[in-house]
Structure 1
Amino acid sequence: MIKIITIIISFGCFFAFGQKRVRDSTAIESFKDKFIVKINLDSKTDSYNADGFGGGPDINLDSNYGSSLFLSLEFQIIGLSLGFSPSFLPGNSDEELRGESSFIDIEPRLAFQKWLIELRYSRITGYYVENTEDFIPDWEENVDPYILIPDLSNTTYGITISHIFNPNFSYKNLFYQTERQRKSAGSFVPTFQYSYNKFTFDLEDIPDDIKFKGDNSDLSLGIGYYYTWVIGDKWFVAPNVSPSAGVRFSKSTITLDGTTTEENITFFKTVLESGLQLGYASERVIFGIAFNYDIYGYEGEEGRFINNDKTYGLLYFGYRFNSPRFLAKSYDKFAKTKFAKKMKL
């Protein structure tokens, strides 16, 4: 797996620098005069599988929300999305057996012609132990409640910086809808990511009391490839694959049966993200559906391994409104500055 990712990244970088840099004015249609409002329904959830502590069974942690809602606003190069998990969505109930979970995600971003800068704050509270039967012998599924960890808090801060090599490929068409792809095109997209994650839990309802506090800092580099097949005037199909590799610096404090130990472990991180999107984009209306499969692996010292695979779908709908005059005028002034001209806004 690691060798394959390394080979893909190496070849990706080689071909990326060979792509043409001149933009075809008919390949992409820009909607700089529009204000985009979009809503996403996302089935991505949060779960973890970690090696057991002290020679015990593995611990499978899962959050009790099956889907989340994202509201997005996009104008020119600026975007903001807010995600949460309301109880009325499918899979966000069954609290008697799996407990309560809360989720919030805030993502501001700047999307230039060639560069993308995305910030992220995410917080999830409330998990349950999916493999409760490994800890309670007489436990019965769909009858007895799972081992609950209501005070478990998983908080992440992150930044992602990406570069679009092919000027005739619109990344914004796929994710922000401030542009529309008019001619089929693809591009390599190298990405740098940094994130800081704080993860704590306390298992008191199992034979061996386990308390865990962890601080993780992740650095990774990747090279994704995205392609958009334009079908007719308004439809498109877009597959993508994004391998990446990096390191995780982990500091943890583990209390097992009253004995506390501290660990500092460096994990080697490998990620393979892939997806397929089918979308529709007219002058005003936007909608689409996407399917994604992600593989996350963290291999550390003494065989310690953490795996986190995810398969999820996304359904989105949006509308392009005419921008208010004061916003349009303000942006026009900004576009005339040296910085805006240098970034080719």
Structure 2
Amino acid sequence: MNRLTLLAGMMSLLVAARAQAQPSLPDSSNFISYFDKILIKCNVSTQSDRYSIIDKTGKDVDLRANTEYRAFLSLDYEFIGFSYGFSPRFLAANDDRLKGHSSFRNYKLQFFPGRFLQTVAFDRTKGYYVKNTGDFVPGWIAGTHPYIQIPDLKITQWSGSTSYILNPDFSIKNLIYQTQWQKRSAGSFVPSLFYDYTRYTMNLLGVPTRQEDFNFRLGLGYYYTWIIGKHFFVSPNLLPSLGLRYSRANTDKDSTTDKGDKFYFTRFLEGGIKIGLNTDRWVAGAGLNFNINWYNENKTMAVQNNKIFGILYLGYRFNTPRFISRAHQELMKRLP
């Protein structure tokens, strides 16, 4: 299934889902709602996974995926949206020659029931390299010699989040998904619950190894949007959170399985700033974001997963196609 077919299929599902929801609210003094239009958007991000293993008694290890640029195609329709992310092979920055090949896939579905924001996502990254290879290989020269590569390290994650916007005059739809325009400057605290299941798999010196993490965390973020004129906005945000991680490791060796279960206390700090343009048809913008999280593996070792990245996006709103509108009307007639 190619990407255009995937988006077309999701378009039909989104319109059908809207038909079973409550009617959209008209424009108010605070918002303009684009409930009669479908937004297709493309994002380009410099986001890439980075895991730092900090060893106080030895050398640190800096693991990175060779996906310095990622692209996301999204389809948003009023209270529901879908996005698909991948790492384009044609971009020169994602060079396989020295860093090895990495692959990335992401699927995300989001809902906006009232002032709630609900997301569910799946992503998978495979293939990592050791950024600080020179600390382990004498005489290694950056840009000339290949990095130490771990091509079969695969990280798969199923995740979700539930958030609630406390201020009814603040639009998270304007900030993140552009299905609404916020007319006046406003901000809001946004409490959020995050949960995910993450699986790490690889062959370590011919020995299959698997680790499973179950993460739960609670955060309280703050978002603010300054409206500049009729079409521009600037919006910073900050979200600290705390959580627990249950980790289960399995190593298969000589027909036996070694298991280890541990609990960790996790800390997260996320934030960023975004600037954007909005018209009745076009949306565009740029942002700078960071996501830092860490936990102590033991008294001498800590694990960090840091992401600092920029993003550019461009989108276009168009009227619902006639064949979908007709299907929408027929579905509405059959509903009780």
- 2:66 counterpart residue number: 64
2:55–2:300 CA contact under 8 A, matched in 1: no
Q: Which of 84, 87, 100 is the equivalent residue of 1:85?
A: 87
Instruction: Determine the C-alpha separation between the residues in 2 that align with 1:144 and 1:198.
Output: 31
Of 266, 289, 293, the match for 1:292: 289
Give the superposed CA RMSD. Answer: 2.8
1:266–1:301: 8 Å Cα contact kept in structure 2?
Answer: no
1:274-285 equivalence runs, <5 A: 274-285=271-282
Contact 1:102 1:125 in 2 (8 A): yes
User: How far 1:327 moved relative to its partner?
Assistant: 4.3
Q: Distance in 1 between matches of 2:141 and 2:191?
A: 47
Q: Which residue among 217, 233, 236 is the counterpart of 1:236? A: 233
> 1:170-210 CA distances to partner (integer Å, 9 max, x unpaired)?
10111111100111111111111110111123454xxxx88
Distance 1:293 1:331 in 2: 40
Deviations 1:116-164 (A, max 9, x none): 1111100011111112223322333222211111111110000111111
Equivalent residue, structure 2, for 1:7: none
Structure-2 separation of matches of 1:59 and 1:92: 21
Q: Which amino acid aligns with 1:47?
A: R
Amino acid at match of 2:34: F
| CA displacement at 1:263 relative to structure 2 | 2.6
2:152 corresponds to 1:146 = no
Contact 1:33–1:328 at 8 Å: present in 2 too? no
In the other structure, the counterpart of 1:314 is: 311
User: Deviation digits for residues 248-299 of structure 1, max 9, x if unmatched?
Assistant: 111124689xx98543221111111111000000110100000112211112
Q: Is the 8 A contact 1:67 1:90 kept in 2?
A: no
User: How much does 1:34 deviate?
Assistant: 0.3
Q: Identity percentage over the alignment?
A: 39
The one-letter code of the counterpart of 1:238 is S
Answer yes or no: is the 8 Å Cα contact 1:103–1:123 preserved in 2: yes
For 2:55 and 2:61, how far apart are their aligned partners in 1? 6
Structure 2 equivalent of residue 98 of structure 1: 99
1:231 deviates by 0.4
Aligned match of 2:193: 192
Query: Is structure 2 residue 35 aligned with structure 1 residue 32?
Result: yes
What SS does structure 2 have at the residue aligned with 1:174? helix
User: Which runs of no fewer than 5 residues in structure 1 stay unpaired?
Assistant: 1-22, 339-345
Structure 1 residue 56, shift from structure 2 partner = 5.1
Could you tell me which residue of structure 2 aligns to residue 46 of structure 1?
49
Contact 2:276 2:284 in 1 (8 A): yes
Unaligned 5+ residue runs, structure 2? 1-25
> How far does residue 96 in structure 1 lie from its aligned partner after superposition?
1.8
Do residues 267 (structure 1) and 238 (structure 2) align? Answer: no
Query: Residue type matched to 1:292 in 2?
Result: N
Q: How many residues align?
A: 308
> 1:105 is paired with a residue of what secondary structure?
strand
Structure-2 separation of matches of 1:203 and 1:141 = 25
Q: What's the offset of the Cα at 1:301? A: 4.0
